[in-house]
A and B are shown apart, each in its own frame.
Chain A
Amino acid sequence: MTRAEVFEKLNEVFREVFDDEDIVVSDATTANDIEAWDSLMHITLVSEVEDAFDIHFEMKDVTKMKNVGEMADKILEMM
């Protein structure tokens, strides 16, 4: 899977979880950019991303990811 494909899939997950068809995520996207993305929705988001890519993040990685770009890097690394 290419990085672009990962982003495409991530975008889909974000749109489903936040029920917002207008979301477009980029490398720099953080929780500050999406209103409904609070620490509690983050739990659902991470779980749904794991499910979509059939991976499990390490706990230490989840706490380190700073933006969607880093999340995508981690996903590519694990696939």
Chain B
Amino acid sequence: MLKELEYPFDSKYIIGKKVMLRKLLRGDGSKRIKKNIAILGGSTTNDIKLCIELFLLNQGIDPEFYESEYNQYYQDAMFPPEELVRFKPDVIYIFTTNRNITKYPQMTDTDDSVGRMIDAEYGKYKNIWENLSRTFHCPIIQNNFEMPVYRLLGNKDVEDYHGKRNFLQKLNSKFYEYAQTNSHFYICDLEFIAADYGLSEWHDLNYWYMYKYAMNLYAIPSLSFNIANIIKSIFGKNKKGYVLDLDNTLWGGVIGDDGVDNIEIGPEEAVGQAYLEFQQYLKEQTHLGIILNVDSKNDEENAIAGLNHPNGVLKPGDMIVIKANWEPKDRNLCSIADELTLLPESLVFVDDNPAERHIVTEQLPGVSAPEIGSVQNYIQILDHSGFFETTVISEDDTNRNRMYKENVQRAQQQAKFDDYNDYLLSLDMRGTIKSFENVLMSRIAQLTNKSNQFNLTTKRYTREEIEEVAANQDYIDLYGRLEDRFGDNGVVSVVIGKQIGNIVDIELWIMSCRVLKRNMEFAMMDELINQCTKRGILKVIGHYYPTAKNAMVKDFYSLHGFEKVDEDDTGNTKWEINVANYIPKNNVINVNGGNE
């Protein structure tokens, strides 16, 4: 990962050095997932594309692009050329701006006629989205409209229906309504990005008149970074949580030296207020399923006392794992990741001390340790970094904190038993293993994109593809949900097998690491074989394709009684079992309310 491409970045540097940066990233030998991205533009998009490429490469995605000819977004969307059809985009980005508005209200227009103009303009875009969606079944990202550079009516421009600002905001609201009811449709908030950059700077008209760029060349990295964040979020590359320092990060001062009574936190004075607002920001994020952990050089007693400070809003109970000791921080971060069964790189390290950040990023490549500046910058920098860019709000996200906490309780429960099977029985586990259901499609697609470790083939699916699998009789599709005495883990496993005659080929087998060693995979296999028997299937075939992350399932099929029938020189293995020879293995999870 290149620090130069992490927020806060130097836009001038990126624009000037993009050729060099591209070579550097393309030549670094890292493994990335490939994605096809179509950009349908209403103005010049070349540098936007180049910068999206840099940011995605830095996030572990290797993009290939289709770029429409200048201002051909409408034609390409309504009458997709052969080249675009062959390209099979995984995501389509429609780059339109207020330069593409065909007709603005005139002073002679009435409220009604302006309403019709809005409907007409919106109708054009809706046709585009529906046609693309029908043709390509992939996520669509659409810009909203940025505000224009001038206000004909001055301050009245925003509230009067003749005003361009008023017009664009109404049109934007229509876009948002569409986004609320179409789950594969995402807004790129160009309006915010332009405002955040500074509207006058953004609209450096030289770039429009000379090159037909709808914004300043140097604003493009900010825009492209935002789009890359949406794309990496869609494909499951978001971070999962924070690892937080305490002294001068969550409060002002050093608690070991100053004492709990003297740390700065709370509304009474400026510095304390800044730390309080930062704590509030983190607390709000926990409601989105972002998890918090502590990694602090302190005695544990002091750390807990600081978190219990009456003026603070983050309490020890908001933290999943607290490591307050004198170990090196990178080692603590690793053990936090272990306890959470997460990879270290899915955590963001937040520490005011550049030396600690340096140690962590040196020892653990892939972990982000943003340069957060001083306390008044913390929120802005973490927020703009887009680590947790929200594209879907699922029930599982909002419950994630609770689930991680329950896992810690399970670990305590386990300590009470000598025999692991007795422990599993004591959990009183109930599983639901069924074919995909409508309300779960988003979560299932999300899981196929997020699971890296317990993933046999690392095949990724969009929501649309999941729906197609569910509708196709040739597939056996199963999701697994697991509950126990400590709570509901939600949907944690997905299996997709394709029937070819009397054989089933397992194309996808994933499980969330949240439920490792709970025998859920045995329950899933029992149910898969059960379904195979009902369909008269004689043989089941499985595959293991090694990646940098999925070594834990190398022997998965062997454990389930499969025989290895093939192995190529890249380590890909192929396995088989006769359905008649399968022996059910789950005896700890009560599945679908049966065999009590």
Question: Which residues on A are within 8 Å of B, measured CB to CB?
Answer: 16-19, 36, 40, 43-44, 47-48, 51, 56, 59, 62-63
CA distance A64 to B199 in the complex (A): 30
Asked whether A59 and B209 contact (CB < 8 A) given A43-B47, A43-B217, the answer is yes
Chain B interface mostly: helix
The answer to whether A48 and B23 touch (CB under 8 A), given A43-B47, A43-B213, A59-B206, is: no
Stretch at the interface among B12-20, B287-295, B524-532: B12-20
- Mask for B191-220, Cβ within 8 A of A = 1, else 0? 000000000000000110111010001100
Q: Min CB distance, B470 to chain A, in Å? A: 43
Smallest Cβ distance from B4 to chain A, in angstroms? 14
Closest to B24 in A: A19
What residues of A have a CB within 8 angstroms of the CB of B16 in the complex?
16-17, 44, 48, 51
The closest CB in chain B to the CB of A44 belongs to: B15
- Which of A18, A19, A47, A62 touches B15 (beta carbons < 8 Å)? A47
- Determine the distance from Cα of A23 to Cα of B44 in the docked complex, in whole angstroms: 28
B211 in complex: contacting residue of A18, A43, A51, A56, CB < 8 Å:
A43
Q: Which residue of A lies closest to B205 (CB)?
A: A59
Contacts of A43 in B (CB 8 A): 47, 207, 210-211, 213, 217
Q: Which of A17, A51, A56, A62 contacts B19 (CB 8 A)?
A: A17
5 extra interface residue pairs, beta carbon distance < 8 Å, beyond A16-B20, A47-B217:
A17-B16, A36-B19, A44-B16, A44-B18, A63-B210
B210 A48 Cβ-Cβ under 8 A: no
Least CB distance from B214 to A in Å reads: 13
Docked complex: B147-171 residues within 8 A CB-CB of A: none
Interface centre among A18, A47, A62 (most CB of B within 10 A): A47
Q: How far is the CA of A48 from the CA of B19 in the complex (A)?
A: 13
Interface residues of B (CB under 8 A from A): 12, 15-20, 23, 44, 46-47, 206-207, 209-211, 213, 217-218
Residues of B within 8 A of A40 (CB): 44, 46-47
Partner of A16, one of B17, B46, B209, B217: B17
* Bound CA span A16–B157, Å: 44
In the complex the two chains form, is B12's CB within 8 Å of A51's CB?
yes
Residue from A19, A59, A62 in contact with B20 in the complex, judged by beta carbons closer than 8 Å: A19
Q: What is the chain A residue whose CB lies nearest that of B19?
A: A19
The minimal Cβ–Cβ distance linking B52 to chain A, given in whole angstroms, is 15
**Which residues of chain B come closer than 8 Å to A18, judged between CB atoms?**
19
* A47 adjacent to B19 (CB under 8 Å): no
- Nearest-neighbour CB distance to chain B for A68, whole angstroms, equals 18
Give the chain B neighbours of A51 by CB distance below 8 A: 12, 16
Could you tell me if B47 and A19 are in contact, using CB atoms closer than 8 angstroms? no
Report the bound CA distance from A36 to B207 in whole Å. 21
Least CB distance from A13 to B in Å reads: 8
Which B residues are in CB contact (< 8 Å) with A63?
210
- CB-CB nearest 5 A-B residue pairs: A19-B20, A19-B19, A40-B46, A43-B211, A48-B16
Kindly state the separation between the CA atoms of A13 and B211 in the bound complex, as whole angstroms: 20
* B211 contacts across to A, CB distance below 8 A: 43
Q: How far is the CA of A18 from the CA of B217 in the complex (A)?
A: 17
Q: Which residue of B47, B206, B209, B210 is within 8 Å of A44 (Cβ)?
A: B47
CB distance from B53 to the nearest CB of A (A): 14
A-B contact pairs, 5 of them (CB 8 A): A17-B19, A18-B19, A19-B20, A43-B213, A51-B12
Instruction: Give every chain A residue within 8 A of B207 (Cβ-Cβ).
Output: 43
Minimum C-beta distance from A12 to chain B (A): 11
In the complex, the answer to whether A48 meets B15 with C-beta atoms within 8 Å is yes
A56 to chain B, nearest CB (A): 8
Please tell me which one of the listed residues B17, B44, B209, B218 contacts residue A47 in the complex, with CB atoms under 8 A apart. B218
- In the assembled complex, which residues on chain B have CB atoms less than 8 Å from the CB atom of A56? 206
Say whether B17 contacts A19, CB under 8 Å. Answer: yes
Within the complex, the shortest CB–CB distance from A71 to chain B, in Å, comes to 15
Question: How far is B206's CA from A43's CA once the two chains are assembled, in angstroms?
Answer: 11
Least CB distance, B51 to chain A, in whole angstroms: 11
B46:A62 contact, CB within 8 angstroms = no
State in angstroms the CA–CA spacing of A59 and B12 once bound together.
Answer: 21
Which B residues are CB-close (under 8 A) to A44?
Answer: 15-16, 18, 47, 217
